[in-house]
Structure formats: C-alpha cells, structure tokens
Structure 1
Amino acid sequence: MQKLVSLFRIAIRSIKLGFAQRQPQAWELELEKFRVDQAGRTRAALQLLAKLSDAARRRFSEPVLLRLLAAGWREGRRLPPEELAALQAVAAHPFPTVVTDGLSEFGGLTLYPHSGLGRFAWIGEVDKDLTEHQSQLERLLERSLHPIGFSNIFDDDGLVIYSDDAGRLFADGEMGSENPGDSRIDYLAASFDRALEIMLRYSAKSDEWPGVPASGMWCYNKVSADAAHSIS
C-alpha cells in the first residue's frame, strides 16, 4: 500500500509539472478521498483532544488518543445493548466482563495506525471463516478465547485478534492446515488499552513477524506451548 501511495504522489506531481496528461485512475481518486477524509477527522480530533479528562490522558498517549477520536471513540462510549447482544449471540463462549466492557467501548470502530494508509484494526464481529482454527488455538493455550476484531497492521493478509477471559489480547499467526504442530498465536498485550497503544503506534514491519523487538509480542507454537502459560 505504501508503494501505491508513493506512486500516486509521483503521478500527481508529474501531472502538475506537465510531464503527464491523463485522468487519475479510480483507485487514485479513492485514495485521495480517503486521505482528505482522514485529514478532516484528525483536525476534528485535535479539537476534541483539548476537552478530554486527565483520566483519559493517563490511559492513552496523545497520538493514540487522536487516532481513537478520529475513529469515533469518545469518553464513556458504549455500544447500544442490542449491538452488544448481537456480538455475544455469534460467539462460541459467553463473554467475561472484561471482554464485554472492551467491546462495548471500542466495538464498531475502524482504527488506523501511524504506519500509514491501508493498515487498520477493526473491533467487533469477526467472520466465522476467519476463526475456523479457534478451538485449535484454545487447546494450544489451554484457555478460552474470544474473537474481538481483525487487523492487517502486522500482516498483509490480516490476523484475528482474540481476548482470553482475563482480557489479555492475542493475534492468530501462521496456521498449518495439516499439522497441528504448526499452530501459532502471538501474545499482543495484557489489556485492550495496551493493545490499542501497540497497534496504533506500530510503524515498523519485518518479514518474520513479530520479529520487530519493539513490538513487544511473543510467538508460541506447539513445541513451545509451555512458554505461553507463563502469562497465566
């Protein structure tokens, strides 16, 4: 996506300089529309930022608060009860209170990180096809998991975000379709708040995700499953 953005900028600059005479392609127009929309949301978020309480400022860093506000989050935000009930209705397990609280506050938001256009995190219902390995992951960690969102911030194809009963968040990793030993799940953070900080401030990638030391994530597989229990 970043490459496309760079190409788009070069194309627009060429047109302005008279080196190219053509109509922008549809994806270029959509990209520019998105950029303008996000810029407007960020300006509005800056105005809202000044009105936040000290408690909110202690919860999140200022860059993350701006991203949350631009996405539609507000202090005291709560999903309507019927929307929360709809999320529970399609879940494999009853939500513990910590998951209910997190989904109520952040459910329905599409969040964009500092890493640029094309990256996002969605908090809310996850397509069933994307959670077909959930029971396998639960056996790996020996705990119930609750899909609470989806993100392509760390991986181009996207990863399902799970919470356990204690509110710790994980991301599903590469899944082996034949050998359960290929199962992988990555510990993301100890809470919704911390996970949002990591995702929305994420600005680096590596070929061996999560091989970026600053990402703060651990990787587990069947061979090293015992290590996962150290967070119990």
Structure 2
Amino acid sequence: MSISIKNRVALVTGANRGIGKAIVETFIAEGAKKVYLAVRNVASTKELEEKYGDKVQTVQLDVSNTESVNKAAELAQDVEILVNNAGIGTPHGTLGETAEADFMNQLNINAFGLIRVANAFAGSLVKSKGAIVQMNSVASIKNFPPLSTYSASKAAAYSLTQGLRVECGAKGVHVLSVHPGPIETEMAKTAGFPEMSPTSVVSEGIVKALANGEFHLFPDEMAKMFEGAYQSFSENIVMADMQG
C-alpha cells in the first residue's frame, strides 16, 4: 500500500529533537499539509513553531500516560499518518538490583506506549486509510547486552508492530516498522556508539518506505547489514500468513 506524505496530516511523538525533529522537517519538505508536534513539554517545540508557522501545531502527549494520549487524540482527530517515535533507551544489563525497575520503565514507554497511541488514533487512521510508523531498532531483533532491557522492550514493540500490520492492514491502514542502527541522537551518544548516522537517513527513509508500501525499513549502514541477514526469516516467517 503506497502512502504519500504530500497533503497529509501527520502526528509525530517526541517531535522536539533527534529523529522526531528530523521526521517533522522531512515531512514538511515533502509537502505535508500539517504536522502535530506531540511532546511532553509543550515549550520544547518553540523553534519548530517559529520556523514552520501554521504548518505545525504542538500538542501535549506523554506516551506513558493513557489519559494524556487519549486527550491528544481527541484534539487531533484529522491525523492520517501517526509516527510513534517517542521512546527511551537507558543502558542497563539483564542482571542487577535495578534491572527489573529499568525494564518495567522502558517497557511502559517503548511497548505499552505503542499500544496506547495505536488504540487512541486508530479511528482517524482507519477513516483516512493512513499509516502507522513505529520506531523500533536493530535491537528489536538482537539483544545488545549493555542495552539488554532496552533491547527486550524494543523486541516487544516489534512483536506488537507485527500484530498491528495484520490488524490495521485489514482495515486499510499501512504499518511501517523502522529499525535504525546507531543514529546521531542523545540516546546513542549515551550508549557510547563510536559511529553514528545522521537523523535524516531515518526521516528520508520513512518517506521512501511509505511510498513503496514496505513493512520493514533498515535505514542506515549498520541496519542494512541486519537487513541482509534477516531478509530470509522476514520473508518466510514474519511476513508469512501462518493462520491457514
């Protein structure tokens, strides 16, 4: 299912910085009609508001809070493309006294956050025959021990994204699962990656993947290495209909 950004209304969670900000800028450059800047702190989008004027509108949205997500959905009922970009990635191993609490926190935002936003905006997306873009990670298909709890939370989010592909696809909504490697963000810097790709690689890749009707996007150089190794499993297992 091909989805064009041109003349579409989008909402991007975590739109104030990093990949989210790049997505906003790329969508507008590609002709988006309007982009909702969905953030926890509404003061954090002033720069984007000044730059793009009435092309953007800030809405308060905390993916960890169902009430907050539902309120944003009530306000932005014209959303056609939902980008669930907001997430956290604190470095933590599987062992340790704080491992359980850390995993619960990351799971709440990275996986339960997806359920919250998908359910809240499903109605408008079905009506517009739009799309959900979920920001996953290469860590969703391989656990990186220094980021073990993050990897597990993203694996859960990726599994949910596969479920959405089937359920939403049956209602005319396209789903795109994005799996970047190290990108130039505060999260990646905190994790200590020595080489990182620019955020534009992800944002521009999303536009192309939506236009091509793809489910998976491995946008950067490291991610494409994963794509090559993962392709057979993806085609024969993940994308296969095993219900019959």
Q: Give the TM-score normalised by structure 1.
A: 0.29
**Larger Rg computed on CA atoms:** 1
Say which structure, 1 or 2, has more relative contact order (CA 8 Å, 6+ apart).
Answer: 2
Structure with the largest fraction of helix: 2
